[in-house]
């Protein structure tokens, strides 16, 4: 494995990172801030029919992805219908999604230090793109690899999405790092041989991410942004970015990857 061992120093991981992969729900935003995940899960369960006998874990879960994964064990047709409804719900949730504090600063720090940023998510590609456009991030993200069909086996903890991103970016796994807030993120990173940074944004999350072997753990994206700024990959690119910022101002400057 090329990823760092559990508890690796954040500076060490960031110094090796040329490509930063961000999970969507958590590191970029809280997608269900205004439309609760439990409400979405209830709506998905209705697609099973009034008389469906669901396992207790599925009948009670507030996680829409768990309902979707179970649907795939029932039939491909049901999985497709559940996935379509879940995509519609995610698109509706974008309007009230809450941005994660300091995520814009992390993206800026990556651009200014010569790094590419991509999104790798179990959420639908349409919802991710919708959110990024709504918040002015669509031209600052190099790549989005997210759910695009009704096969839950391709989602994290499978390494499939991460491997896709690594190949599309023409990156090496050892110079790629995933930032995620769930155990499945860390598991997928490990299986894809990329480094991982756990984002402990909920009570008890630090312990879970440590047990899952996250390479490093942060409580705030502010810590990651400062560390990225301290480790410049390409000093020449940084100087170009600073000149553009001076000439055009922060909002008008093209991203470093466009310059």
Question: Torsions phi, psi of 26, nearest 5?
Answer: 130, -80
Q: What pLDDT does residue 50 have?
A: 84
pLDDT beyond 80 at 249: no
Summarised one tens digit per residue, pLDDT across range 32-81 is: 999 999 999 999 999 999 888 999 999 999 999 999 999 999 999 999 99
Q: Which of 79-88, 169-178, 249-258 bottoms out in mean pLDDT, i.e. has the lowest?
A: 249-258
Position 242 scores a pLDDT of 53
Say yes or no to pLDDT of 186 above 60: yes
- Give pLDDT, residue 208: 97
Mean pLDDT, residues 152-158 taken together: 98
pLDDT at 96: 98
CA distance 225 to 109: 6
| Residue 236, pLDDT above cutoff 80 | no
- State the Cα–Cα distance between residues 79 and 67, nearest whole angstrom: 9
User: Shortest CA distance to 16 belongs to which of 199, 259, 196?
Assistant: 196
Q: Is the per-residue pLDDT at 1 higher than 70?
A: no
Residue 141 has pLDDT above 70, yes or no: yes
- Amino acid 235: pLDDT: 61
More confident residue, 87 or 245: 87
H helices within 8-118, ranges in order?
10-16, 37-45, 56-60, 64-74, 76-93, 103-112
Looking at every residue in the chain, the average pLDDT score rounds to: 91
Q: Does 199 score more than 90 pLDDT?
A: yes
Measured CA to CA in angstroms, residue 72 lies from 38, 60, 63, 159 at distances of: 19, 18, 15, 19
Q: Which two tokens stand for residue 43?
A: 């709506």
At residue 2, the pLDDT reads 43
Write the pLDDT tens digit of every residue in 74-130: 999 999 999 999 999 999 999 999 999 999 999 999 999 999 999 999 999 999 999
Q: Tell me the mean pLDDT in the region 242-253.
A: 52
Averaged pLDDT for residues 167-176: 97
C-alpha distances out from residue 217 to 52, 60, 163, 185, Å: 41, 30, 22, 13
């Amino acid at each position: 494995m090329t990823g760092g061992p559990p508890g690796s120093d954040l500076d060490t991981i960031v110094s090796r990172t040329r490509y930063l992969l961000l999970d969507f729900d958590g590191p970029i935003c809280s997608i269900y801030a205004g439309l609760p995940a439990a409400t979405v899960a209830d709506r998905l369960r209705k697609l099973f029919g009034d008389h469906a006998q669901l396992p207790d874990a599925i009948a009670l879960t507030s996680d829409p992805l768990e309902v979707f994964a179970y649907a795939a064990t029932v039939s491909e047709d049901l999985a497709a219908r559940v996935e379509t409804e879940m995509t519609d719900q995610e698109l509706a949730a974008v309007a009230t999604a809450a941005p994660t504090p300091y995520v814009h600063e992390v993206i800026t720090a990556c651009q200014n230090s010569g790094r590419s940023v991509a999104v790798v998510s179990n959420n639908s590609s349409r919802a991710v793109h919708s959110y990024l456009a709504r918040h002015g991030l669509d031209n600052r993200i190099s790549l989005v690899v997210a759910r695009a069909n009704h096969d839950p086996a391709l989602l994290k903890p499978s390494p499939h999405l991460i491997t896709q991103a690594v190949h599309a970016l023409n990156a090496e796994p050892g110079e790629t790092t995933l930032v995620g807030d769930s155990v499945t993120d860390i598991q997928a990173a490990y299986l894809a041989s990329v480094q991982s940074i756990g984002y402990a944004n909920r009570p008890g999350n630090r312990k879970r991410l440590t047990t899952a072997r996250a390479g490093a753990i942060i409580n705030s994206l502010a810590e990651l942004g400062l560390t990225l700024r301290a480790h410049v990959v390409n000093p020449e690119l940084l100087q170009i970015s600073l000149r553009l910022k001076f000439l055009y101002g922060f909002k008008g400057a093209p991203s470093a990857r466009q310059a």
